[in-house]
Amino acid sequence: MAPVPSAVVPQTVKVALLLPLTGPSAQIGQPMLDAAQLALFDTAGDQFELLPRDTKGTPAGAAEAARQAIAEGARLILGPLFGAEVAAVRPVAQNAGIDVLAFTNDWTQGGAGTYVMGFVPGDQVNRVAGFARSRGVTRFVALAPRTPYGDAVVSALQATSQRLGGTVTQVERYDPAVPDLSIPAKQVAQGPGAGAGQPQAVLLAEGGPRAQGIASALAANGVAPQQVKLLGTGLWDDTQGVAALGQEPALVGAWYAAPAPQARAEFESKFERTYGRKPPRIATLSYDATAIAAVLARTNGPAAPFDRMAMTNPSGFEGIDGLFRLTPTGLVERGLAVLEVTPNGARVVDPAPPNFDVLGQ
């Protein structure tokens, strides 16, 4: 009886990278590809091959790119970028039995082998509210637009404050298109927390000029930043954006949670030296995803490079955006720093944790 041949294990580990390389979003997709190439240079061995494929920025393009890459032997998918693209790629990947490290910040796409690498509000709110609670804040107000993002911010603040023994005394929602930000600001100033029980912190689920406008309106209506700490989300986490926020006096001293900035600054300098231009903020996602894939492929070997147990190692990984780990729910948990807005940018007031034991398992 002839011996049964053993299964042939491919010696090269192939990984797909799905990005919008043409179309209106190519200005984001191309530098994300460049960041992945930097990660290849820094971390990949000879037996690792990246398969960049163009999604054209559309769900149909993303699904077709995934099918092509899988047909060519891809064992893992990095990307795509947009939530609708991820929704189109998920069933393709599931049918092939491979996982997805998606760059979207649409947390609803996580699960069943798809991990959302984008920056989602839950971790950020937990971290900044937890820090505020450690500094004596017990009464919080949430000020958020009526959007899914606003929903997530409010939900996270309520859960965190309850867990830590604080209270959300007021939730003020408003139409995201409202031009007059003084209206929700007045509601906070005149709300149930006015007077002796004035809130100690107000969380703003806005970034950029909207955050500046609402902070200014709060101050004009008597919510003084000297008495009430303003808190923000990862929408503030942009070097230029934070510098602009610091030009609004009511935001100076405000806190927000974000990845520790030092490693990203070094990455941005290296990217600019290599390519002659600054990377978009989310270029770190493609660097970190490519680096994870390359390290796992080298560590685990070609037989089972992306085993789920290895992917969801509770100790996590150290990336450009700091410590992070993939969770079975499909969300990425990050070890974040707390930063303070100053007129000259942001400064770290509480460093990122050195490991997940500090945050609790």
Backbone CA torsion sign across 253, 254, 260, 266: negative
Please name the amino acid found at residue 302.
P
Distance separating alpha carbons of residues 31 and 17, to the nearest angstrom: 13
Mean pLDDT of 200-210: 94
3-state secondary structure of 338: strand
CA pair distance 65, 55, nearest whole angstrom:
6
Which letter does DSSP use for residue 51 in this model?
E
- Helix (H) / strand (E) element for 341: namely strand 337-342
Residue 356 has pLDDT above 50, yes or no: yes
Supply the DSSP symbol for 199: -
pLDDT (tens digit, 9 = 90+) per residue, 125-157?
999 999 999 999 999 999 999 999 999 999 999
Cis amide prior to 80 (ω within 30 degrees): yes
Do domains 13-119+282-330 and 121-260+337-359 share one topology? The answer is yes
pLDDT digits (tens, 9 = 90+) for 207-256: 999 999 999 999 998 888 888 999 999 999 876 667 788 889 999 999 99
**What is this structure's pTM?**
0.88
pLDDT exceeds 50 at position 4: no
Domain ranges of the chain: 13-119+282-330, 121-260+337-359
Query: Pairing state of beta strands 229-232 and 201-204?
Result: parallel
Q: How far apart, in Å, are the Cα atoms of 329 and each of 124, 134, 160? A: 17, 28, 19
Cα gap 318→37, rounded to integer Å: 18
Query: Which CATH number applies to 121-260+337-359?
Result: 3.40.50.2300
Question: Is CATH 3.40.50.10190 what the domain over 13-119+282-330 is classified as, yes or no?
Answer: no
Three-state DSSP class for 139? strand
Mean of pLDDT values over 300-304: 85
